[in-house]
């Protein structure tokens, strides 16, 4: 009987960090209903976070609305780039589209509308996520490691890229 410690077992793992993270995330998302919920709700949660960050007030001397959203996006893209250039570019495009939507809602309907839309989508999408995990019978990955809050969006895109035959 070989009883290797988890640390030693991880040291023997020669997969790339992105493959390990996505593999671990996939282990908690095997139920088809939960997967569908995640494919819909993870992007909605990401958008709601960009919307909520977009409306955080920015002192006039620092810049315009959306500064905090832009800074958080840049940090996330930097992390993604370390994991996979292809997935980072996909996430950059997705986040750019989300931020463009934020700008449009902000300037067309005002910051209060963007705030309440962001809050509403955030709450509903998270409720759906927890329903999915109840169906799965497993707790959400981020409860074991917060990094999985950033991995979830990559997992959604990686599944699509694999279906399209695109290596990441």
Structural domain includes residue 82: yes
Assess if residue 28 is contained within a domain: no
Kindly state whether residue 66 falls inside one of the protein's structural domains.
yes
Domain annotation covers residue 103: yes
Does 13 fall in a domain? no
CB atoms within 10 A of CB 50: 25
What is the domain extent for residue 96?
A: 38-164
Q: What is the rounded distance in angstroms from the CA atom of residue 100 to the CA atom of residue 52? A: 14
pLDDT for res 15: 84
If one counts the domains in the chain, the total is 1
- 10-residue mean pLDDT profile of the chain (168 residues): values are 53 81 94 96 98 94 90 98 97 98 98 98 97 93 92 96 94
2 is a domain residue: no
pTM of the model: 0.87
Let me know if residue 12 belongs to a domain.
no
């Amino acid at each position: 009987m070989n009883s290797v410690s988890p640390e030693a077992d991880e040291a023997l793992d020669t997969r790339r960090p992105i493959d390990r993270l996505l593999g671990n995330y996939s282990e908690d998302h095997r139920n088809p209903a939960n997967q569908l919920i995640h494919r819909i709700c993870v992007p909605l949660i990401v958008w709601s976070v960009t919307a909520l960050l977009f409306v955080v007030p920015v002192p006039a001397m620092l810049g315009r609305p959306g500064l905090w959203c832009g800074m958080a996006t840049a940090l996330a893209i930097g992390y993604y780039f370390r994991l996979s250039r292809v997935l980072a570019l996909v996430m950059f495009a997705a986040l750019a589209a989300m931020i463009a939507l934020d700008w449009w809602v902000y300037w067309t309907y005002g910051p209060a509308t963007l705030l309440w839309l962001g809050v509403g989508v955030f709450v509903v999408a998270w409720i759906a996520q927890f329903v999915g995990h109840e169906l799965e019978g497993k707790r959400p990955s981020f409860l074991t490691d917060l990094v999985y809050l950033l991995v979830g969006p990559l997992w959604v895109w990686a599944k699509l890229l694999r279906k399209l035959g695109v290596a990441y």
